[in-house]
Amino acid sequence: MKKALFPGSFDPVTKAHVDILKRSISLFDKVVIGIGLNSSKQALLDPETRKKMLEAVFSYEPKIEISTYEGLTVDFCKSIGAEYMIRGIRTVLDFEYEKAIAQMNHALVPEIESIFILSKPGYSSISSTIVRDIHRYNGDISQFVPKEVIPFL
């Protein structure tokens, strides 16, 4: 069974995340969405709300599983038996950042392969950070997030 992890904060999940996940599903038997808990980031939503939000967005997809984790992402990969890590790439800066992380992860756990999926051009400017900022100042985020996300905000 080919199993992959798609890690992130998903605070909140965006249409860009959904696009990467939809395009990943056909490549793997199971995709685990890993909600990484990072105490250094100021979260908008608590982990349980993020999990419920993702469950609402992907309720139709049996190949997706959702979990939270703390610590090194490669350790979480090993613990769930994932051999692949999916990362979305929006820009050249994302690529350089993700490449460095992938190389470090490979040094730590060589058997876990990083898979980069390029964002579609229409989603390349969407990030959870920007969506959070727009939301904090009462801006309309409906064009950036799936409709299932709105009730959670």
Q: Token pair for residue 33?
A: 């969405």
Catalytic sites, residue numbers: 17, 41, 90, 128
Could you give the count of Cα atoms lying within 13 Å of 134 in the half-sphere of its Cβ? 16
| Count of domains observed in the chain | 1
Give Cα 34 distance to the centre of its chain: 7
Instruction: State yes or no: 88 annotated in a binding site.
Output: yes
Q: Token pair for residue 82?
A: 């994932």
Q: What is the CATH classification number for the domain harbouring 90?
A: 3.40.50.620
> Domain residues for 128?
3-152
pTM for the model:
0.93
Instruction: State yes or no: 50 annotated in a binding site.
Output: no
Instruction: State yes or no: 128 annotated in a binding site.
Output: yes
Between CA 60 and CA 66 the distance in angstroms is: 13
Between CA 21 and CA 46 the distance in angstroms is: 22
Q: Per-residue pLDDT for the chain (153 aa), expressed as one digit of tens each?
A: 999 999 999 999 999 999 999 999 999 999 999 999 976 777 889 999 999 999 999 999 999 999 999 999 999 999 999 999 999 999 888 899 999 999 999 999 999 999 999 999 999 889 998 999 999 999 999 999 999 999 998
| pLDDT tens-digit map of 68-96 | 999 999 999 999 999 999 999 998 888 99
